[in-house]
Structure 1
């Protein structure tokens, strides 16, 4: 029974293999809140920024992930914009396992050239520290043979795990590129073992994940801007994922676009099955600025893999608020499109 449960969790994580780590949490709307993927993003918007996101993944699939996060980041000194700080609170539930985590991020932002007010050019170096609480709730298990003497009573098991993140982020007014490695301490496989009442239990922790991102924005007309971007996600165990994103901005108020996620066998990973499907999911998204400082967003993901027969897509809602700065009374020195 325990082996079957572990297999179900691995399938739900999308690993496609008998790896021992859960894939890192990822939101479809990360394109509007880069702090979830890269600590070097802290302070990028040039003003204090508060963001909240809730994701209901694979609706209708029993035990599917449900994830919520709140992030806040700001500059420590708006006069030179050299340092940024950020914090993230995360809740993630996958079947009987829950994860609460607190992450702090620090970014040192180095100006390269150009007028910062009109055309900033900066490279940012970021580090982050995370403390996670993983809980396994045995009372939610459904046993095929209740009363089996081989199965001991399982209560809630809790484990606190520290971790670290590192990132680099470069941006101008019209282009950005970044790279990060999240959960550096999970290089050992991202698995923790528990012993209780003569039995052994496994907890699937988030594994080490590398993200590479790049994108740009260009004018189509005075009222319309075009923003393409790409993200490569590598967890060193499952297939390499690639997100291709396309958005249009209308009158600086409404973002409309979509994303397509696929996978590729870039590295030689002997543990992967040879018949894994490359196509994974597609998303449609919209972000609307109710006021210049307050925005709301929604995305819907269509699963294009075999999992589509067992669920009805993923829903994600986000809200964000940019606070005015004391420096100029503006929300930001120049619009931040990334």
Structure 2
């Protein structure tokens, strides 16, 4: 087991080496309710087939601001041993003239670590592709004859893979993953509309760490703190801190804080001596179980950066549905 873990960590470590000109990955405030979006090893964690729809409108009131939709489903393929998790995730994102639509199939191998089956160590892999598009007709150049801007809409498909490790027990969980493993390949330009264009638009390779715990504060009241660290080794390290109170295992209410922190010396610091602002946003988050099979989540992000003067925050809504009967009694509630 130790050799397997060391091997997987080595693969993740080598996966984050390399450079590419890129954009940041899509961010979701409500990843805390379904972490498959940041770690494929989470696939099948709930041990029942679960579908989720998510809609996010970022920086409301700002023209061309990001709008994102996501649809996912995951569960276990073998209800008795529960060793194999399967999942599918589709995400559509639009930012001004640029859009990206991706689809990933996930598989997780889930190792049982104790006789009571309250601890599992999962290794997950996701494979898929993203269609990147750029609509030149939406752009408004200063010079109408600018040859760098495409005349119409252009697009291209790019394959990719992701990998993760996830451990959980009834009291705490932790996971590490690397996303967009193939994005460091510079030989394939996504957009090339003339003989001189060499730029590309590509998501940057990211390393994620997630962790959290559960504390019982009394009858019918639990406290669930968690964190997400996102690293692309170019800009500031992104840190999400969240704290949720759970009432009667049905109503969740809490808050989050997203900021940038300085962990490594960056190239932009060495060249200019400047640092990017770490201020980002505060979030209010809630989730309610309408029935045992239906849950609804909502979050609002209040932006604290300089963008606060030109937009009205970000809204995110999720709808989660348990599909079909439970194959077997779940030994502990799925709070993670």
SS in 2 for 1:195: coil
- Which residue is 2:279 aligned to? 279
Specify every segment of 5 or more residues in structure 1 that has no aligned partner in the other structure, as ranges. 1-18
Does residue 41 (structure 1) correspond to residue 42 (structure 2)? The answer is yes
C-alpha displacement of 1:324: 4.1
Specify every segment of 5 or more residues in structure 2 that has no aligned partner in the other structure, as ranges. 1-19
Does residue 320 (structure 1) correspond to residue 317 (structure 2)? The answer is no
Does residue 91 (structure 1) correspond to residue 88 (structure 2)? The answer is no
- Which residue is 2:138 aligned to? 140
SS in 2 for 1:200: coil
| Residue pair 2:87, 2:107 contacting (<8 A) in 1 also | yes
Structure 2: distance between partners of 1:156 and 1:334: 50
C-alpha displacement of 1:22: 0.8
| Residue pair 1:190, 1:207 contacting (<8 A) in 2 also | no
Partner deviation per Cα, 1:265-295 (whole Å, 9 max, x = no partner): 2112122462322221110011011001100
C-alpha displacement of 1:103: 0.2
After TM superposition, what 4+ stretches of structure 1 lie above 4 angstroms from structure 2?
Answer: 149-153, 188-191
- Which residue is 1:336 aligned to? 334
Structure 1: distance between partners of 2:230 and 2:42: 17
Structure 1's 124 and 73: CA in aligned 2 closer, same or farther, altered over 3 A? Answer: same
- Which residue is 2:64 aligned to? 63
- Which residue is 1:230 aligned to? 227
- Which residue is 1:299 aligned to? 299
Structure 1's 167 and 149: CA in aligned 2 closer, same or farther, altered over 3 A? Answer: closer
SS in 2 for 1:88: strand
C-alpha displacement of 1:130: 1.7
2:237 pairs, out of 236, 240, 245, with 240
How many residue pairs get aligned? The number is 314
Structure 1: distance between partners of 2:22 and 2:205: 8
Please tell me the root mean square deviation across aligned C-alpha atoms, in Å: 1.9
Partner deviation per Cα, 1:108-151 (whole Å, 9 max, x = no partner): 000111412xxx111000011121111111111112233x3746
- Which residue is 1:131 aligned to? 129
| Residue pair 1:22, 1:190 contacting (<8 A) in 2 also | no
Structure 1's 214 and 224: CA in aligned 2 closer, same or farther, altered over 3 A? Answer: same
Partner deviation per Cα, 1:192-220 (whole Å, 9 max, x = no partner): 35332556374422111111011011111
Structure 2: distance between partners of 1:76 and 1:284: 35
SS in 1 for 2:209: strand
- Which residue is 1:183 aligned to? 180
Structure 2: distance between partners of 1:189 and 1:312: 37
- Which residue is 1:15 aligned to? none
C-alpha displacement of 1:70: 0.3
Aligned pairs for 1:197-276 (under 5 A) are: 197=194, 200=197, 202-272=199-269, 274-276=274-276
Structure 1: distance between partners of 2:119 and 2:295: 26
| Residue pair 1:152, 1:199 contacting (<8 A) in 2 also | no
